[in-house]
Amino acid sequence: MLVNQKNILDSEEALANGTWVKLICGASNQDLPGIADLCAVYATAGVHCIDVAADTAVVFAARQALDWVQAIKGIRPWLMISLSDGKDEHFRKAWFDPKQCPTNCPRPCQKICPAKAIEAIGGINSKRCYGCGRCLTTCPLGLITEQEHSIQLTDIAPLLKELRPDAVEIHTAPGRANAFQATVMELMAAKVPLKRLAVSCGLEGHGISPKELAKELWVRYSCLRKNNLKPLWQLDGRRMSGDLGIGTAKIATALWEQVRPIAPPGPLQLAGGTNAQTIKHLPDHNGPAGIAFGGIARKAIQPWVLEAQANQISLREWPEGWQAAVKEAKQLIEPWLSKTSTKQKTC
């Protein structure tokens, strides 16, 4: 990250300092105007990394926004892309055929969607859907299904060569050490230098203990070491839930508390359920290397992003909306950027 702005540390420095902040745009989110606005707003606010779908159009939109921020502000966060080594809820989309919906349906699916991917008429806007799954059980007729949205192993190397991100994140799960290794091999085949290889994993849905999770991470660590890749451990408290309320913040911090004494070397970063409350659940003199905000970060600026889209302009072309959105973004991330340094062992 280039640094010109006061108080904004280089990405590696921020990891070492315990003040790293990442924006998660969503591993399945392909809403290009929305992504460009999110990237521009949060890069301006000072995040150290932006995590987007491994998709050519998405990366192009994100990069254009980051170029703009760099030209104006002289700062540029890392661009990270997310992959998965197997089935993962972050890599799915919901779908239904609107022709099958009764005309008098009160549309509970529409009401629950945090991405506003379901309009008052019609089906799901697949570009906007990021796979949170909340609509799946709302339909009284059971019309909504999930569809996988992941990248084939053989497509990873060519895609990486084309996208050339600063960092990659692999979403993994217990029992998938071989699939993880195969994914890393494809990354290595691309010969794209990576600043960090992030590994995202949690307990939810896997029926394992924190000790078993740590064991899984140690296996991944061994693979990364063999390939000279620097790790970044993303502990996924409760998937895609930060916008739901205070309780999810506790789940994210509890996972970190349980795993940190037994985790492999490398920075540990919170995710999955993180929100403005998260920082209040951490000890003063200790803490993780940083945090990733997803749903809560998107929700914070959603009114302005949607209004800009409705007017078919970029948020950057609407000064009042832009300023209001940057203010909201700063409100969310500044407690982390300015928190007491908690020295981390990074490798």
Contact residues: ligand SF4, CB under 6 A: 94, 96, 101, 105, 107-109, 112-113, 115, 117-118, 124, 129-135, 138-139, 141, 143-144
CB of 127 to ligand SF4, least distance (A): 11
CB of 217 to ligand SF4, least distance (A): 28
CB of 98 to ligand SF4, least distance (A): 7
Is 135 or 159 the residue whose CB approaches ligand SF4 more closely? 135
CA angle (313, 296, 137) in 5-degree steps:
100
Is 126 or 181 the residue whose CB approaches ligand SF4 more closely? 126
Is 122 or 158 the residue whose CB approaches ligand SF4 more closely? 122
Name, in order, each residue with C-beta under 8 angstroms of 177's C-beta and a sequence gap of 6 or more. 216, 219, 220, 223
CB of 107 to ligand SF4, least distance (A): 4
Is 140 or 247 the residue whose CB approaches ligand SF4 more closely? 140
- Asked if residue 44 lies in contact with residue 69, where contact means CB atoms within 8 angstroms, the answer is yes
- Token output for 12: 């590696």
Is 6 or 99 the residue whose CB approaches ligand SF4 more closely? 99
CB of 344 to ligand SF4, least distance (A): 33
| 93 exposure class (CB count in 10 Å sphere: 0-12, 13-18, 19+) | buried
CB of 128 to ligand SF4, least distance (A): 7
**How far apart are the C-alpha atoms of 115 and 158, rounded to whole Å?**
30
Q: Give the chain's largest Cα–Cα span.
A: 59
- Asked if residue 88 lies in contact with residue 156, where contact means CB atoms within 8 angstroms, the answer is no
Is 107 or 206 the residue whose CB approaches ligand SF4 more closely? 107
Choose among 1, 30, 4, 33: nearest CA to 17. Answer: 1
CB of 64 to ligand SF4, least distance (A): 24
Choose among 305, 212, 304: nearest CA to 262. Answer: 212
Is 124 or 337 the residue whose CB approaches ligand SF4 more closely? 124
For residue 264, which amino acid is it? P
Is 71 or 121 the residue whose CB approaches ligand SF4 more closely? 121
Is 32 or 254 the residue whose CB approaches ligand SF4 more closely? 32
**How far apart are the C-alpha atoms of 129 and 138, rounded to whole Å?**
16
CB of 136 to ligand SF4, least distance (A): 7
Own/partner contacts of 309-316, CB < 8 Å, gap of 24 or more, are 309/33, 309/34, 314/33, 314/36, 314/37, 314/40, 315/37, 315/40, 315/41, 316/37, 316/40, 316/68
Measured from the Cβ of residue 157, the count of other Cβ atoms closer than 10 Å reads 17
**How far apart are the C-alpha atoms of 297 and 167, rounded to whole Å?**
20
CB of 337 to ligand SF4, least distance (A): 28
